[in-house]
Amino acid sequence: MQVGFDCEEAVWLRSALLEIAATLYSDRRPVMVRQWIDPVRLHDPEPVGHRFLFLVAVGGDDRPASPDIDDVVDAFRAAGWEAHEPRYGREPGTGWAEARREDFKTSIDAGAGPGVLTFTGWTPVVFTTGRQLRQPQHTLSTVYGVLCRECHGWGACLDCDGTGRGTEPGSYGRCWCHGGQGGPGACIECGLSGQITESSPWHLLKSYGFADADAPDADADGPDAFRMPPIEKAHGSNIDALTDVAHRTCACGEFRSRWSNQLREADDHLVSLFTGRCRGCAKQRAYAFMLPHRKLPPPPPPPSPPPCPRCAQVPVPLVRGLHFPGSATMRALELGLVEASDRGCEVRPDDPNWRCPACGHAWQDADERRRARILRSILADLPAS
């Protein structure tokens, strides 16, 4: 059986993504940047099924004025998808969320500055062999790092189909995968996850080619020591630049990557930087483009904090999870613009999220998005030290 982009799942997802994207801008059409297929295999190289993927870009050069990643999450919910609240990145403007509807999923990515806002949507795996298989944990384009080479993303032991049962003489009815950390039936290399990510054990990172793993102790080569790629002059808009990048291949031959975008103002032009990890060889890829100068929109003004319910003074947001605070958070703490939550990393549903410096009262305000927006604007706008 042949499957193509005219199959029911692909047609539905493609139009669902374009419709949601169209609700975000009234004056501009969303752009289908690329559509592609992830083949899915078991032991044999011959695929047993496929997944269809679509990369849609919205807006491009005028975020974060509108729409914000929060608006995108709301648009997916309004269209009947389940979506968790966005997570915000360290760079102002960056964020990520995932929406799901049955076995369809979409990753929503917002770039830094007014960088591009993209949706990458994927269908469930459509099987072509007639054999009914469950859905794999991951395929090539859905991983956060690279696909596990042993199980090709299934997360299960392919020798026993995840049952843990062995049929070889002398196996006593147990597959060899019983000895693995993930338990019987689980892939020994990746546990159950189907992927190798930056948080996988060091020996795996090294053998999969994660370059950062070569020098785990070399401070000089930390994430800040990023080398800017040569700036190319080729594009009229950031979406054109993204379309170009999405069609380039890594030296290893793979094109799949999860791209982050940063758009910055330089002297008389804009610089758009794309970075991503190759899903084939795990190497970092980066491209930079000079775009025609436009005045970037200022970020929208943050909302006002909720007044203290006891004394009506202006409170400060509480921040949690401070095992590894970023440098901006550290500075905001020093300046008293934010305070550390007493609970540290432990998160409970009724945790206070604001504290009043005037009277000391701490309380929980239900509007978590307002707090997140205010916090982001504090961190983005710190006075120079």
Least distance from Zn ion to the Cβ atom of residue 173, Å: 12
Residues in contact with 273: Cβ distance below 8 Å, sequence separation at least 6, in sequence order: 228, 229, 261, 262, 263, 264, 286, 287, 288
Total interface residues for Zn ion by CB under 5 A: 25
374 scored as a contact of Zn ion (CB under 5 A) = no
In this chain, which of 13, 108, 160, 379 binds Zn ion, going by CB under 5 A? 160
- Binding part of the chain for Zn ion, among 23-31, 32-40, 240-248, 280-288 by CB under 5 A, reads 280-288
If binding is defined by CB under 5 A, does position 190 make contact with Zn ion?
yes
Q: How far is the CB of 281 from Zn ion (least distance, A)?
A: 3
Instruction: Kindly tell me which residue out of 16, 57, 110, 177 binds Zn ion, with binding defined by CB under 5 A.
Output: 177
Cβ atoms of 30 and 21 within 8 Å: the answer is yes
Q: Is 278 a binder of Zn ion (CB under 5 A)?
A: yes
* CA gap 363, 356 in Å, rounded: 9
Measured from the CB atom, the residue of 22 and 281 that comes closer to Zn ion is: 281
CB 355 within 8 A of CB 362: yes
Q: Which of 67, 189, 317, 354 binds Zn ion (CB under 5 A)?
A: 189
| Closest to Zn ion by CB, 276 or 280 | 280
Instruction: Find, among 294, 29, 43, 237, the residue nearest to 154 by Cα.
Output: 43
Residue 146 in the binding site for Zn ion (CB under 5 A): no
CA pair distance 174, 368, nearest whole angstrom = 50
- Give the sheet arrangement for strand 354-355, strand by strand: 339-340, 316-319, 354-355, 362-363
Per CB under 5 A, the segment of 7-15, 48-56, 209-217, 357-365 that binds Zn ion is 357-365
Q: Is 356 in the site for Zn ion (CB under 5 A)?
A: yes
Which residues neighbour 259 within 8 Å (Cβ) at sequence distance 6 or greater?
A: 109, 118, 242, 245, 246, 274, 275, 276
Asked if 174 touches Zn ion (CB under 5 A), the answer is: no
**CB of 292 vs Zn ion, minimal distance in Å:** 31
263 versus 356: smaller Cβ distance to Zn ion? 356
Nearest to 162 by CA among 126, 191, 204: 191
Return the number of the residue (13 or 245) whose C-beta is nearest Zn ion: 245
Helices (H) and strands (E) in the chain, counts: 6, 18
In this structure, are residues 141 and 53 in contact, taking their beta carbons and an 8 Å threshold?
Answer: yes
Q: Which is nearer to Zn ion, 283 or 294 (CB)?
A: 283
| Strand-strand pairing, 82-83 and 95-101 | antiparallel
Interface residue with Zn ion, options 11, 266, 347, 359 (CB under 5 A) = 359
CB nearer to Zn ion: give 53 or 278. Answer: 278
Both tokens assigned to 358? 């005037």
Residue 280 touching Zn ion (CB under 5 A)? yes
Find the binder of Zn ion among 10, 18, 157, 270 (CB under 5 A).
Answer: 157
* Spatial contact of 55 and 120, defined as CB atoms under 8 Å apart: yes
Minimum Å distance from CB 174 to Zn ion? 8
Nearer to Zn ion, 10 or 282 (CB): 282
Contacts of Zn ion in 55-94 (CB under 5 A): none
Asked if residue 284 lies in contact with residue 351, where contact means CB atoms within 8 angstroms, the answer is no
Strand partners, 99: 83, 106
Among 281, 288, 337, 340, binds Zn ion (CB under 5 A): 281
**Residue 26 tokens, joined:** 């009234």
Contact 276, 324 (CB under 8 A): no
> Does residue 358 touch Zn ion according to CB under 5 A?
yes
By CB under 5 A, residue 204 contacts Zn ion: no
Binding pattern for the stretch 225-264 against Zn ion, x by CB under 5 A and - elsewhere: -------------------------x-x-x----------
- Interface with Zn ion, residue 205, by CB under 5 A: no
| Amino acid identity, position 53 | L
Which of 42, 186, 187, 372 is in the footprint of Zn ion by CB under 5 A? 187
* CB 101, CB 124: distance < 8 Å: no
Residues that bind Zn ion (CB under 5 A): 148, 150-151, 157, 159-160, 175, 177, 187, 189-190, 250, 252, 254, 278, 280-281, 308, 310-311, 313, 356, 358-359, 361
